[in-house]
Structure 1
Amino acid sequence: MHDALTLIVVLLGTAVAAVVLFRRLGMPPILAYLLCGLAAGPFGFGWVSNTDGIQHLAEFGIVFLLFTLGLEFSIPRLMTLRRIVFGAGPLQVALTGLAVFAIMRLLGFDYTPSLITACALSLSSTAIVIRDLISRGSVNTGYGRTSTGILLFQDLAAVIMLVMLPILTQENSGPMWSVASLTLGKSLLLFAGIYVIGRWVLPRMLEETGRARSDEVFVMTALLLALLAAWVTHWLGLSMALGAFLAGMMLGESHFRHQIEADLRPFRDLLLGLFFISVGMLVDPNLFADQWHWIILAAAALMLFKGLLIFTLLRLLKERSDTAMRSGLILSQAGEFGFVLVALGVSHQLITPDKAGLLVSIVVLTMVFTPALLDNSGRLTRRLLQRWQRIPEDTPISDETRNHVILCGYGRVGQNLMRYLNSFHMKAVAVDRDLVRLQEASAAGEHILFGDSSRKEILVNAGIQHARLLVVTFDDPRLAERILHTARELNPNIRILVRTRDDTYLDALIDAGAEEVVPEVLEASLMLVAHALMMLDVPFDRVMATLRKTRRERYRMLQGYYHGDTLPTTDSAGNPYRLLHAVTLSDKARGIGRSIARCALRDVEIRAVKRDDQTLESPDPELVLEPGDTVILYGPLEAVEAAENRLLGG
């Protein structure tokens, strides 16, 4: 017991230190976990000599990974991007896999290790690329949509690979095609059963659980659902990951999706960290020392081949050269599902630990170079296209933001300020640390970045050197002081406005460099004065006219905001919670060519339609929707999700 506790403390402490260090270096935390596993494993300091127990526990990390993947797997979104998903996606996975498989066989490797390696290296890193796209506000750009489409198919392919992998262990059970057919039949039967249960039983079960108003009961229910689905598939002789994915996909259509995802994220992240630590234990540094030249050659060849292949496929689908090139650059690495396939291959004794360590080393090396590729993909795309297609030096790949406003924080106050800045045709860039809120806002076409506003690199990415104004919209005086010092260091001439709750820190913030500080309590008194003077017929020109217009509309412009990680189902009065949600229509969406009235959206209001550079506020019901339109919906969560499915084709 004492030894086990010591091991847990050592592993946890090492993992925390490594993740913090790797985040400061801008490297993916997955690499930190792998390094911890390498240090703790039999090829490192030997803290863990028998890895079987840890690997069995770590498999639950895969279960929760696939469950949350199912929650995020949107069939309407899949159909919207189907030209990329079912066009470039399958060809990329198949051609990459075939090339790797052929090379492995030519080098003398056996059939099974070659197949596992081909599957592992054909996939890219969803976790790294999607997070980067969200943090840069690039999900809705051309290369963001094409990359997301290819990653969607790769995730689907990964699930299929995990289901079919155990077939390779059943060579004595009959012909391969017979075993595969039986597995496929079981999977379809399981899908039908989970679909029925997920459609009619689980929502009612979760509603009853929600009425208990107990967080621990809801969390236990979510855990039970994920593990129960995994147990059923394991009992049927299938992969536990398949059941978890199907259960997550069914629950992803319900309005409990966000709450379940938020509740299970800590369990998923902890168990996934343990899983990647167990994968790191497979790596033998001596193997890397002996084979380093082959590992580097394999990693470089993989990234070059996969990048060129994705570029070629997207060009064949008539995508722009810069979009295709940038997508190829950011998807050229191998991904985290490669580790999953390797770990399962070792546990099923389909691949030896030394070959697994070699494969893990190749995947890790491609992921090490990924952050640099992500940061410089725009510049690399420009240079490559200038060399190959003779593009003039001044041809812009992306527009640099100048004379804009930087909003530190994008909660309710930041979003309200953004709306008024837009109404006065002023450019603004927001910075926030809520990934869900960023995804919602960036889908609406708003310029928003992920990160800590007090860090230099984040403010540089927001263009602080060319900004006119910086506004701290949240009430955190200590963090605001750090932002002020960083901002003044980067741009001594920028004007800075800070929001606070009261005047306690007013002098300190002014001394730190704030030009104006707005204490909310004092501003409430000033607003009362404005009402009194207006009643006495004192004119306040345009500012007062703007305030009167907002009140005449019953604060309509201020209603609703893009939700973040936590989303309540009811407001303080017990009414259904209402929110804003952005839906971007592709050329294959069901709503294209129909008027808003013909779409027959129930219980939701269309606040605006963003078309090219124009925002159509309160659009006419007879307005015909066009490809590329972003529709801003406002209403209860259930109604908003139903409206999104109807617009996209669900």
Structure 2
Amino acid sequence: MDGLLLNGVIYLAAAVIAVPIAKRLGLGSVLGYLIAGIVIGPWGLKLITDVEAILHFSEFGVVMLLFVIGLELNPRRLWQMRWPILGLGGGQVIGTTLVLSIVGILLGWPWQLALAAALGLSLSSTAIALQPLTERNLLTTPGGRSAFSILLFQDIAVIPMLALLPLLAVAPAVTGQSEGWIGAAKAVAAIGIIVFGGRFLTRPLFRIVADTGLREVFTAVALLLVLGIALLMQLAGLSMALGAFLAGVLLAESEYRHELETDIEPFKGLLLGLFFTAVGMSVDMGLLVSQPVKVLAMVVGLILVKGLVLLSIARASRLQWSQTALFAFLLAQGGEFAFVLFSSAADFGIMDTETVALLTVVVALSMASAPLLVVLNDKLIEPRFVQVDDRPHDVPEDEGNPVIVAGFGRFGQIVVRLLYANRIGVTVLDHDSEIIDTLRRFDFKVFYGDATRLDLLEAAGAAKAKVLVVAVDSQEASLQLVDLAQKHFPQLKIVARARDLPHAMELLNRKVPVIERETFRSALWLGEETLKALGQPAYAARQKTLTFKQHNEALLQQLHAHWGEDIDKRITLQRQARARLQQNLEADEKAQESARGLGWD
């Protein structure tokens, strides 16, 4: 018991220390767990020695991860994304696997070993790739959508890859054909039980448990479901993760999906973190010390091969040059599922322990290099290609429209539709070619081009227009456009969208007459509805909302006057303003109470 408690303290302490540091450095939580494992493992401080037992136990984190992925993969959603997923994702996995398999065979590996290694190396880290895309707000761009499609295909492709490994193990055998057929029959029977149970038995079971009103029992049933299916698949000789994934897909449209995901998520996160930590402990750093040239050559070779395949896919899908390099760099590293595939390949005798150790080091180092590749792209590569577009800019037609709208995203679309409804002519500029082609099918007059270019603004009729609506996503582009319009078209009245408070302050510095914070009014309306839901009269909720709005707008001007000063000064201003607001609201309530007492209501 003492040893178990001590190990638990060591794991948690290592994670608590390493993961926040890794996140702060931009390396991501996965690399934080890997680093923690390396530090406390046999090649670090030697605090943990029984790595294999921990690794086997922590594989339940991968099982739960695939169960959650299955819950999120609604069949209808998959069908809508089928062509990008199958085309881009299938092309990347098949292309990378083919090239790496040939390389492995040329190196003298048996074809089964070469294929198993290539399958694992073709996968990328979803966690590492999605983090920069989310932070940079790039998931909605063509490059972000393409990367997400490939990652989604890879997550799905893990399942057939795991199912293929037993076939690679028994393929050379001739005398074991009858045993192979028995194993296949067991596999089919296990999958059939999961499909039947998931469709007809689980919902009544969850309904009965939910009626008890005991949350802990529902959580226990959720864990029992996942672990029971994993045990069934293990007895059938198949991957535990395969069964969990199938169960998740079957429950994706269940009314209990969100409840299941919520209950499984904490266990999944902890066990998955333990899995990555165990992988870090199992990384043979001695290989990097004893064979540095071989290991580093394999890491560079992996990144080059995957990068070239991804570049080919990007060019075939006509991805813009400004997004191509980041797209390739984000997906060129290895992924966490490679560890699972290599471990399974070792269990089936396809790989020996030395090969697994070598490939594990290669994948871990490639994952560690991903943030460095992103920095390389930002500093050296993207500045060279950011102005290079595959599609020439449109030449807008000067139709004498009084309004020019720059940016036709979620914000600009509403403005344009309102103006169209009132028969006001609008010239729209946007830099997303895919969105423009789609909107033109709905008869919107949208032109492809960078609104920060003076020649395009002139061609759009900025010299004669009355209003410029700045609704672009990029804060930098927004300010650049305002500066350009104020310098060359002083007659234009500028109406600008502000993404946040600092952006609003920059627009105020430029004396933009009309500034709208993109979520301010909708949040006010929602707050007003909340007050009414709490039982306050509609007129009172409306009055309090208007009072808050006026107070907030006045505070914005006060903060702008002191924006360049010390932050303590701004904090003091906000505290004083909050106190004044509370006093005003209390005075309004007393006035309303007095009016009701006099019978004026």
TM-score, with structure 2 as normaliser: 0.66
Letter in 1 for 2:305: F
Shift of 1:348: 4.2
Shift of 1:511: 1.6
Cα 1:53–1:376 change in 2 (3 A) is same
Shift of 1:320: 4.1
Is the 1:92–1:310 Cα contact (8 Å) retained in structure 2?
yes
Q: CA RMSD in A?
A: 4.3
In structure 2, distance between residues paired with 1:46 and 1:156: 36
Match in the other structure for 1:383: 384
5 Å-filtered alignment, 1:81-92, equals 81-92=81-92
Cα 1:514–1:165 change in 2 (3 A) is farther
Tell me whether 298-307 or 121-130 shows the greater mean CA deviation: 298-307
Match in the other structure for 1:43: 43
Shift of 1:243: 0.6
Q: Which of 377, 387, 400 matches 2:474?
A: 400
Match in the other structure for 2:243: 243
In structure 2, distance between residues paired with 1:390 and 1:253: 41
Is the 1:96–1:122 Cα contact (8 Å) retained in structure 2?
yes
Cα 1:159–1:396 change in 2 (3 A) is farther
SS in 2 for 1:281: helix
Is the 2:41–2:280 Cα contact (8 Å) retained in structure 1?
yes
In structure 2, distance between residues paired with 1:185 and 1:59: 25
Is the 1:404–1:466 Cα contact (8 Å) retained in structure 2?
no
Structure 2: state its 5+ residue gaps: 394-448, 453-471, 480-493, 509-514, 528-555, 597-601
Is the 1:129–1:331 Cα contact (8 Å) retained in structure 2?
yes
Match in the other structure for 1:427: 497
Shift of 1:47: 3.2
Cα 1:271–1:333 change in 2 (3 A) is same
5 Å-filtered alignment, 1:152-231, equals 152-170=152-170, 174=174, 190-231=190-231
Shift of 1:155: 0.9
Match in the other structure for 2:254: 254
In structure 1, distance between residues paired with 2:108 and 2:283: 22
Shift of 1:241: 0.7
Match in the other structure for 2:151: 151
Cα 1:515–1:521 change in 2 (3 A) is closer
Q: Could you list the per-position Cα deviations for residues 145-166 of structure 1 after superposition, in whole angstroms to 9, with x for gaps in the alignment?
A: 1111111111111111122223
Q: Could you list the per-position Cα deviations for residues 482-513 of structure 1 after superposition, in whole angstroms to 9, with x for gaps in the alignment?
A: xxxxx9xx9985499x9xxxxxxxx9974266
Cα 1:96–1:17 change in 2 (3 A) is same
Q: Which of 517, 521, 524 matches 2:578?
A: 517
Is the 1:283–1:357 Cα contact (8 Å) retained in structure 2?
yes
In structure 2, distance between residues paired with 1:142 and 1:467: 29
Shift of 1:318: 4.2
SS in 2 for 1:49: coil
5 Å-filtered alignment, 1:108-147, equals 108-147=108-147
Shift of 1:81: 1.7
Shift of 1:83: 1.6
Q: Could you list the per-position Cα deviations for residues 74-122 of structure 1 after superposition, in whole angstroms to 9, with x for gaps in the alignment?
A: 3222222222111121121111112112112222234343223211110
In structure 1, distance between residues paired with 2:507 and 2:67: 42
Shift of 1:226: 0.9
Is the 1:113–1:351 Cα contact (8 Å) retained in structure 2?
yes
In structure 2, distance between residues paired with 1:70 and 1:371: 28
Shift of 1:176: 9.5
Is the 1:299–1:363 Cα contact (8 Å) retained in structure 2?
yes
Match in the other structure for 2:313: 313
Is the 1:226–1:244 Cα contact (8 Å) retained in structure 2?
yes
5 Å-filtered alignment, 1:438-453, equals none
In structure 1, distance between residues paired with 2:175 and 2:364: 36
SS in 2 for 1:217: helix
Is the 2:498–2:504 Cα contact (8 Å) retained in structure 1?
no
Q: Could you list the per-position Cα deviations for residues 191-243 of structure 1 after superposition, in whole angstroms to 9, with x for gaps in the alignment?
A: 55433432333223222222222221111111111112212212222111111
Cα 1:534–1:284 change in 2 (3 A) is same
5 Å-filtered alignment, 1:327-366, equals 327-366=327-366
In structure 2, distance between residues paired with 1:251 and 1:465: 48
SS in 1 for 2:499: strand
In structure 2, distance between residues paired with 1:306 and 1:266: 33
Letter in 1 for 2:474: E
In structure 2, distance between residues paired with 1:11 and 1:316: 46
SS in 1 for 2:201: helix
Shift of 1:428: 4.0
1:4 counterpart = 2:74 = no
SS in 2 for 1:84: helix
1:13 counterpart = 2:13 = yes
Tell me whether 271-280 or 371-380 shows the greater mean CA deviation: 371-380
Number of matched pairs? 465
Match in the other structure for 1:57: 57
Match in the other structure for 1:76: 76
In structure 1, distance between residues paired with 2:100 and 2:144: 27
In structure 2, distance between residues paired with 1:252 and 1:495: 51
Cα 1:20–1:352 change in 2 (3 A) is same
Letter in 1 for 2:497: K
Q: Could you list the per-position Cα deviations for residues 227-279 of structure 1 after superposition, in whole angstroms to 9, with x for gaps in the alignment?
A: 12212212222111111011111122223222221221111111112212222
5 Å-filtered alignment, 1:493-532, equals 494=563, 510-511=571-572, 516-517=577-578, 522=583, 524-525=585-586, 528=589
SS in 2 for 1:427: strand
Letter in 2 for 1:401: Q
Shift of 1:35: 2.4
Cα 1:529–1:220 change in 2 (3 A) is same
In structure 2, distance between residues paired with 1:322 and 1:181: 52
In structure 2, distance between residues paired with 1:396 and 1:293: 49
Match in the other structure for 2:234: 234
Match in the other structure for 2:296: 296
